Amino acid sequence: MELLANDKKALDSVVKEMSDRTGESIDPEDFRKKLTGGSVVVTQGNRGWTVQQMFENLLMLQQVIFDMKWAFLLAAHDTDGFLTSDNPVSLFDPAAGPMRGIGFASSPVAHFTFPLSRGICLLAHHMRGPETRELNALQVRSINKANITRTDSQLYSPFVSLGVQKLLNDVVKLKGGPRKVLFSKGRTVVQREESK
């Protein structure tokens, strides 16, 4: 929906198709606002529709990601390194307001991080060209903190940190996930509360 809302030609085509089908006059700009405002609900008609949507969106999305500029962020040797989670591709858009969705093309400042190893993290964005940058400990911690906020429930860390544990506990608590999250030998272990 993000891609549709930002592609005037595609949006006009969908609005025309909807108007022809329903006989109702639909303003493309109003429809775009609905798409980006979180008030449009897409329901699954059948599994075939879902699979078709997945592949159609994949074709559009792969071009957006391919066109993004890739940077490899290197953790300095004196840092603990990057951590990763059960949701390793962390998508961000600093320009998105509370009512806007975040997508790979939601704004020119949309970007994602993907930790590849303890020492390397991929950053893909729309602004600058490809590059490699070494990050200091503060910058690595900043990326780790942002990635923790995108974690579903599992965090994989090459180091033990009470600060990381607290942040993860807060994130999991807000998401209504597992009741107890523990570190064991630098790895997160999740224990779910038994249903009564």
> Looking at the chain, which runs of residues are DSSP E strands?
69-75, 84-85, 90-92, 111-115, 120-125, 131-135, 155-156, 180-184, 187-191
* Sheet with 90-92, side-by-side order of all strands: 90-92, 111-115, 120-125, 69-75, 131-135
Q: Which residue has the higher pLDDT, 103 or 117?
A: 117
Question: What integer pLDDT is reported at residue 10 of this predicted model?
Answer: 78
| Range of the structural domain that residue 151 is part of | 43-191
Cα–Cα distance for residue pair 139/145, rounded to 1 Å: 10
Residue 187 one-letter amino acid: R
Q: Which residue has the higher pLDDT, 11 or 195?
A: 11
Q: Does residue 31 lie within any of the structural domains?
A: no
Q: Does residue 82 lie within any of the structural domains?
A: yes
Q: Does residue 196 lie within any of the structural domains?
A: no
Q: Does residue 36 lie within any of the structural domains?
A: no
Q: Does residue 90 lie within any of the structural domains?
A: yes
Please report which confidence band the pLDDT of residue 177 belongs to, taking 50, 70 and 90 as the band edges. Answer: very low
Cα–Cα distance for residue pair 11/7, rounded to 1 Å: 6
Please report which confidence band the pLDDT of residue 53 belongs to, taking 50, 70 and 90 as the band edges. Answer: confident
Q: What is the pLDDT of residues 56-68, one digit of tens each?
A: 878 888 888 898 9
pTM: 0.61
Cβ burial, residue 90 (10 Å; 0-12/13-18/19+): buried
Average pLDDT across the chain, whole number:
79
Q: Does residue 184 lie within any of the structural domains?
A: yes
Total domain count for the chain? 1
Question: What integer pLDDT is reported at residue 119 of this predicted model?
Answer: 94
Q: Does residue 21 lie within any of the structural domains?
A: no
Q: Does residue 93 lie within any of the structural domains?
A: yes
